[in-house]
Amino acid sequence: MAYHELGHALVALSLPGTDPVQKISIIPRGIAALGYTMQVPTEDRFLMKKTELLNKIATLLGGRAAEEIVFGDISTGAHNDLSKATDIARSMVKEYGMSATIGQVYFSREKRPLFLEAGMPAGGEYSEATAEMIDKEIKELISVQYKRALDILQEKKDVMDKGSEVLLEKEKIDGEELKALLGIKGDQAPKSLNP
């Protein structure tokens, strides 16, 4: 679990425009969370750029990528991360017009209460071919960002190992301690971590 959470944090610290990492913990929270990486936005935001959304997906996939690198295997621990990453990618393709392949088209259904849809025939709002294109584009976005997370973490495996030792000993690390492990001072972003 330590490597999983460090994977999220290291990817987040490596990419511009991500929310700052405040804390990493391997203390279980609730039923499903075996640990967490807390990122807190520095300001209220209503709009996000495409690059910021891609970086968010890569950060979410950092935990799974860390597991693959360290253990050569993956666990069910990324269930929620995969759900969130897929939701972002789906919105990018179907709602925000952020796909070069699909184009500047809105494909999401209008959100209506379920009781209004009772008894109405279920009809597709676009063709099966378009649905396949959308699915392929979502999968491609996720695959590219997963590869990006893998590349970042393979380059920083030594930092992951050091951070894991600290995290296993202390059960949590704050953002400043993690930056110190990376040799980052203040709000400085290390050039070697930016792709």
CB atoms within 10 A of CB 168: 12
Is residue 28 within 8 A of residue 80, CB to CB? The reply is no
Backbone φ and ψ for 118, nearest 5 degrees, come out as -60, 130
> Which is it for strands 36-39 and 21-25: parallel, antiparallel or unpaired?
antiparallel
- Is 169 among the residues known to form the active site? no
List the one residue out of 43, 14, 39, 13 whose CA is nearest residue 25: 39
Q: Could you tell me the maximum CA-CA distance found in the chain, to the nearest angstrom?
A: 61
Query: From the centroid of its chain, how far is CA 185?
Result: 25
Among 5, 67, 68, 137, the one annotated catalytic: 5
Backbone φ and ψ for 27, nearest 5 degrees, come out as -85, 125
Strands (DSSP E) contained in the chain are 21-25, 36-39, 172-174
Tokens of 28: 């279980």
Active-site residues: which are they? 5
